[in-house]
Structure 1
């Protein structure tokens, strides 16, 4: 089993507006034969760590899935869990976006930057 994390992302308001209001997650399956499953958990980080996203994606071979999540929060973290056989076959990227859809460079986490833990 592989567990990937964005780590805590600070998103404090500047002049009353947070840099990121929407978080786009892209998950791809590089396996050409077998489907994979990925669990996505999103946490609000304030005085406590509170789960606000809990979704399981079933991704077909060579499929790319895009999900958008609310992120107009002072802090958040996303955790991605895959099965043991899927760890090498899954690619994940996370993109913070303004309400206009413009990317927030400071809030993007691409595949090689995810923190990985083997369970």
Structure 2
């Protein structure tokens, strides 16, 4: 079982609007034979760490899935727990998007940058 975290991501308002309104999570299982399981936990951080996303999914071999979550908070964090026979072949990326759905590069986390908890 691997536990990966984005760490806390600052999203304070600029001119009254938070830069990130939505988070897109892409998960890929590169294993050609085995499935993996991913538990997604999203937290908003406002003095306390409050769980607002709790979702578990199974990824079939050689598949990709995309999930979108609200991120209109001053700070947030996502934690991913992967398991199953394809655990080591499962990669996750997190992309912050503005109100127009455009990716904001400064708020993206790809598999190689995630913190192992």
Q: TM-score range by the shorter chain?
A: over 0.9
Q: Does residue 11 of the first structure (1) align with residue 11 of the second (2)?
A: yes
SS of structure 2 residue aligned to 1:112: helix
User: What are the ranges of 5 or more consecutive residues in structure 1 without an aligned counterpart?
Assistant: none
User: What are the ranges of 5 or more consecutive residues in structure 2 without an aligned counterpart?
Assistant: none
CA distance in 2, matches of 1:20, 1:86: 31
1:69 is matched with which residue?
Answer: 69
User: Which portions of structure 1, spanning 4 or more consecutive aligned residues, are displaced by more than 4 angstroms?
Assistant: none
Superposition CA RMSD, Å? 1.0
CA distance in 1, matches of 2:86, 2:78: 18
2:30 is matched with which residue?
Answer: 30
2:99 is matched with which residue?
Answer: 99
CA distance in 1, matches of 2:30, 2:88: 8
Q: Normalising by structure 2, what TM-score?
A: 0.96
